[in-house]
Amino acid sequence: MIKITFPDQSVREFKEGVTGLQIAESISPRLAKEVLSVSVNDQVWDCTRPITESAAIQLHKWDDKEGKDAFWHSSAHLLAEALEALYPGVKFGIGPSIENGFYYDVDLGDRVLSDNDLPDIEKKMQELVSQKLTFSRNEVSKSDALEYFKTKEDEYKVELISDLEDGSITLYKQGNFTDLCRGPHLPDTSKIKAIKLLSLAGAYWRGDETRKQLTRVYGITFPKKKLLDEYLVILEEAKKRDHRKIGKELELFTFSHKVGLGLPLWLPKGAQLRERLEQFLKKVQIAYGYLPVITPHIGHKELYVTSGHYAKYGEDSFQPIQTPAEGEEFLLKPMNCPHHCEIYKSKPHSYKDLPIRYAEFGTVYRYEQSGELHGLTRVRGFTQDDAHIFCKPDQLKEEFAKVIDIVLYIFSTLAFDNFITQISLRDPNTPDKYIGSDENWEKAEKAILEVAEEKELDTIIEYGEAAFYGPKLDFIVKDALGRKWQLGTIQVDYNLPERFELEYVGQDNQKHRPVMIHRAPFGSMERFIAVLIEHTAGKFPLWLTPDQAIILPISEKYNNYAQKVSNLLNNSEIRTLVDERNEKIGKKIRDNELRRIPFLLIVGEKEENEGTVSVRRQGDGDKGAMTIENFVNLVTQEIEKQLNQSSNN
RNA sequence: GCCAAUGUAGCUCAGUUGGUCAGAGCAGCUGAUUUGUAAUCAGCAGGCCGUGGGUUCGAAUCCCUCCAUUGGCUCCA
């Protein structure tokens, strides 16, 4: 007998060789039906794998990440089997589970897959599922594994196995398909009730641009048909919220081939929105002691040679601008930091001056690869809500904390209440990869970790993800559909102060090197607004939205009254339009609901006589008539609430 | 940059096997209507069917080049 410890610390005895599935059966038939994998001493196993020693276990169902992993990983194998059945001789790369589903990378030789082939593959998968194929696990020697895949002429698997240690290699087999795999897998394919292959893509073997590009088939599967339907609805919803679509509909921004790829043109409504956001952040930053600066859009090539960016990115950037003077070259500014370093250098600094915080909405240009451009989220010209804080090493923690406060304030004001932070630290195994003293690094990393804890941030820590010049903290928000977006970033930098020889005179009358913090709460205006659009589906917070109210006269007879009301509201700083078109009220309501204007004010004979407006809230229907004064109060109170509530947090 | 798909009026889309196939709705303009909570009616105007080449008696439709877009990959100071 062996002792099995459950997550609640209770212990039960089972026969040696018992499986997770059998343990689940002993608890309840329903659990047995739902269990997908099992953690044995924190290693995720197949729930059909015999447990031979006493262990702590945890059973995983669909709702657990480990359960989904096993489910989707098994689905990837199923996809592979279907592909092999349909296209004999296909070679396999890797086929993991991912956040939403799974993929398999395959080499089909000369055969090209297209979207039209996906239904056939799906059908084949269904067919295999209905055979209720069991997944069986086999431990094999390295030589046997190599032998098997060499015979099969699957060079990718052979390469993978070559990198593995003998004794750690397992193969999984279901039906006619055998794959190199660590597992775990489902007991059999019958749990897979709904299959959808989503898309095809090219993917470099082992993510290496210089190697062969394989065909990647993406798919997702579910234990219930209903879950698939729900997932497809979310995909549809995401399409509806696409910022490129809404940006077009609401006339926020556009692109022009003549102007150039990845160079957004902000239309009046979009510009208004963006400027309001900028003003909002500027005000916050002034309160936090930031000093606005302005720097030019170009800089001497030497500036970026000094900063080191030219060596690293010069080739892939917009190429230097020549001047009539011999040998003189300027670069479009790819970042603001070097300029701000030069501002710092414009005069000597005492330790008493620090910290110094230079802020600029700085427009930068980067030559992103054409295949990378995407709406407003990846562009070639964009404006960073940039600032650089120059401080003493012992001020780092406090400055970091203040930046976090700003970001938190912004997020709460804009209703991003679901976010995590990622802290990127050094890879402890390669300390020589990083510039700056160990002492400073330790100080900075400790400061970031402490601040994150004090602010009670939901944090994940990534070792080895730090830039060579310093550790960083990124904010990753989840939008209304649960999609993740990286927005604000705070980075510590020991490199630029070194390269620019930045100094301050300390209390000891000696010269010292300041630490620099780069930070951008929005990241870039373009990206942030894109995410904001997708998060809100274009229904921006009242304080921010370009037009807050529109007056809809019942007929042209009431246009005069509408204008009068509009003037009153505009005087009360409520941004108001009038829909004077000769249309029926139903039409005006429909059109302006679609424009996502928060308040529709209907005025006709009754309202004119009583000096009122009939208020209709976008998406929420008729709210009844009220005086203009009451409406102004309603709006101003809501705006105050939006802006104040967050500052109390 | 790489792989795949797509590219028809300002927008959303029809165009069957190459032969009145240059269409519709919305938006726009003109007129009628003067309207009470999500689309009033009628008329007009709008396109070198992404670009350049080719096949053909004939190409939006078939082939190739290029450009762009979309989904990924690589990249992202």
The DSSP secondary-structure symbol of A380 reads: S
- pTM here? 0.90
* CA of residue A73 to C1' of nucleotide B18, angstroms: 47
Looking at per-residue pLDDT, the higher value among A467 and A361 belongs to: A361
Contact in structure between A22 and A51 (CB atoms under 8 Å):
no
Contact in structure between A215 and A104 (CB atoms under 8 Å):
no
CA dist A418 and A476 (Å) reads: 9
pLDDT tier for residue A649 given thresholds of 50, 70 and 90:
very low
Quote the mean pLDDT of chain A: 91
A366 is catalytic: yes
The catalytically annotated residue of A91, A185, A349, A388 is A388
Task: Give the position of tokens 């095809």.
Answer: A200
Whether residue A647 is predicted with pLDDT greater than 70 in this model: the reply is: no
Q: Residue A645: its pLDDT value, please?
A: 62
DSSP-assigned letters across all residues of A429-456: T-GGGS-S-HHHHHHHHHHHHHHHHHTT
Q: Is the CB of A594 under 7 A from strand B?
A: yes
Report pLDDT digits (tens) over A1-55. Answer: 898 999 989 999 899 989 998 999 989 999 888 999 999 998 899 989 999 889 9
Residues 516-555 of A with CB under 7 A from strand B: 518, 554-555
ipTM score of the complex? 0.92
Distances (CA, A) of A107 to A83, A110, A161, A218, A437: 11, 9, 18, 14, 47
Distances (CA, A) of A96 to A100, A136, A209, A427, A595: 11, 18, 20, 25, 42
pLDDT tier for residue A266 given thresholds of 50, 70 and 90:
very high
Residues 347-376 of A with CB under 7 A from strand B: 366-375
Closest CA to A448 of A396, A393, A386: A396
SS3 A165: coil
Distances (CA, A) of A66 to A27, A31, A50, A71, A420: 20, 15, 18, 9, 21
A518 is catalytic: yes
The two three-digit tokens of residue A256, written as one number? 């022009």
Task: Look up the protein residue whose alpha carbon has the minimum distance to the C1' of B6.
Answer: A115
Residues across chain A: 649
Arithmetic mean of pLDDT, A577-599: 94
Q: Is the CB of A616 under 7 A from strand B?
A: yes
Arithmetic mean of pLDDT, A295-319: 89
* CA of residue A251 to C1' of nucleotide B46, angstroms: 21
Q: Phi and psi of A420, rounded to 5°?
A: -130, 165
A384 is catalytic: yes
Closest CA to A471 of A499, A455, A451: A451
Could you give the percent of chain A with pLDDT greater than 70? 99
The two three-digit tokens of residue A326, written as one number? 């011999």
Distances (CA, A) of A457 to A451, A461, A533, A537: 9, 12, 25, 27
Q: Is the CB of A320 under 7 A from strand B?
A: no
Q: Residue A113: its pLDDT value, please?
A: 82
Please measure the distance between the N-terminal and C-terminal CA atoms of chain A and give it in whole angstroms: 55
The catalytically annotated residue of A181, A337, A341, A391 is A337
Provide the positions of strand B that have an atom within 7 A of a protein CB: 1-5, 11-12, 32-40, 67-77
- The overall longest dimension of chain A from CA atoms, in Å, is 93
Whether residue A436 is predicted with pLDDT greater than 90 in this model: the reply is: no
- Highest-confidence range of A253-267, A361-375, A589-603, by mean pLDDT? A589-603
Contact in structure between A105 and A214 (CB atoms under 8 Å):
yes
Q: Residue A245: its pLDDT value, please?
A: 92
The DSSP secondary-structure symbol of A537 reads: T
- Beta-carbon contacts of residue A66 (< 8 Å; ≥ 6 apart): A36, A37, A39, A44, A60
* CA of residue A552 to C1' of nucleotide B45, angstroms: 29
SS3 A62: coil
Task: Give the position of tokens 């600094």.
Answer: A349
Q: Residue A475: its pLDDT value, please?
A: 93
A276 is catalytic: no
Arithmetic mean of pLDDT, A164-169: 84
Whether residue A431 is predicted with pLDDT greater than 80 in this model: the reply is: no
pLDDT tier for residue A646 given thresholds of 50, 70 and 90:
low
